[in-house]
Amino acid sequence: MAERLVVIGGDAGGMAAASGARRARPDLEIVVFEKGVRTSYAACGIPFHVGGEVPDVESLVARSPEAFRSRQDIDVRLRHEAVAIDLDARTVEARDLDGETNVVLDFDQLMYGAGARPVRPDWPGVDLPHVHMAHTLADASGLATAAAGIAGRPVAVVGGGYIGLEMAEAFLARGARVTVFDIAPQLLRNLDADMAALVAAEAERLGVELLLEHHISAIEADRVVTEKGEFPADLVVLGMGVTPNGELGAAAGLATGVRGALVVDDHQQAAPGVYAAGDCCESVQRVTGRPTWIALGTVANKQARVAGANLGGGDATFPGVLGTAITKLCDTEVARTGLTMAEAADAGIDAVATVAEASTRAHYFPGNGPITVKLVHERGTRRLLGGQIVGAPGSGKRIDTVATALWAGLAVDDLVNLDLAYAPPFSPVWDPINTAARRAD
């Protein structure tokens, strides 16, 4: 009888690992339980479908269940929700959501790729038909339909993180009057306050109303209710982040850590023969060496590559994360990597910040725009700890230079003489990264 791998979850973590295991082990029987109706889709593309930049929602699907079945001989069972794991008996029990029956499968190896779920508060009115999530392709289609007739009407976006900003942009593009609510005193809590303030200023310039430090208590048919007043809203988008789906693993006896995410070693192993990857599990922050939880598709796919190799008999390791991320609000690009000043303080690191304002191109070249670069380094050792960038088009991907320097363990002074490309359409003679490092020096 063939050895069996059971996979829980049919998105990035689960399916990338299953594909890797299949490449290494053509003889392996692979069964995937996925409670939804899709596999391997790009949830990060949903705001751009809603805004009209990506017209076809089906283009967000990287690989269909039929492709996994026919090309890789992976038995994908949609609408099957894993409900119990028995590590001693080596079984997984799943509920067939359509047939309303349960199936129990033995496994030799288990891949836990249950991902994360969106935060959904229990406010009165949260289940009203004009309240939408932005997590699945069904959510995307519903939002796109609602957005088609929203011009001139009020839209409330709840959450000032990446998804919230991207949804705000989507509805600005549709001509709506957009209000962003958040309980925090700033947008983008993974930036330092001074850099987040640049984004907030741009949002307000674009006509977005920012209601920060507002605690929503209820949603009604045409308004959002907070402790500071009532605000009109014909449509409400909940973009309050996600939380890891670690409960099923925890109930089976797997260890959990940050935010309830599963604890894994550097091989992505949670227990003997049990692996996990993606938004359901922890990572290690490379700068601090501490456990962290970062829900990003980049992290999920890299962890899944390691898990898949090891499920196939390999010896791969995952080296950790920096938390490198990028987004935009219309023409303002926002990026970060490593530690902010607040995160450095939380880790007990004596940090110094340097902020430099520069230009994306030569000052005389058409299309030149402002860019602000913030570098964070350790006092004394001058070890680079992190970076943040806010600026005009052409700004954001410069964060990759900082991320590479962090990965290599460079000091902030090493960035002064980095041999970065120059031509007037792309950069000043001194790239903004060089400029910020010079100022730190």
Q: What is the pLDDT of residues 344-383, one digit of tens each?
A: 999 999 999 999 999 999 999 999 999 999 999 999 999 9
- Mean pLDDT over residues 58-77, rounded? 94
pLDDT grade, residue 86 (50/70/90)?
very high
- Mean pLDDT over residues 241-256, rounded? 97
- Mean pLDDT over residues 277-299, rounded? 97
Q: Annotated catalytic, 44?
A: yes
Q: What is the mean pLDDT of the chain?
A: 96
- Mean pLDDT over residues 72-91, rounded? 97
Q: What is the pLDDT of residues 117-164, one digit of tens each?
A: 999 999 999 999 999 999 999 999 999 999 999 999 999 999 999 999
Q: What is the pLDDT of residue 99?
A: 87
- Mean pLDDT over residues 211-239, rounded? 97
- Mean pLDDT over residues 85-106, rounded? 96
Nearest to 439 by CA among 373, 356, 372: 356
Q: What is the pLDDT of residue 441?
A: 83
Among candidate residues 44, 280, 281, 330, the one labeled active-site is 44
Asked if pLDDT for residue 401 goes beyond 90, the answer is: yes
Q: What is the pLDDT of residues 258-273, one digit of tens each?
A: 999 999 999 999 999 9
Calculate what percentage of the chain has a pLDDT beyond 90.
98
Q: What is the pLDDT of residue 298?
A: 95
Asked if pLDDT for residue 1 goes beyond 80, the answer is: no
Asked if pLDDT for residue 404 goes beyond 80, the answer is: yes
Q: What is the pLDDT of residue 69?
A: 95
Q: What contacts 131, CB < 8 A, 6 or more positions away?
A: 125, 219, 236, 238
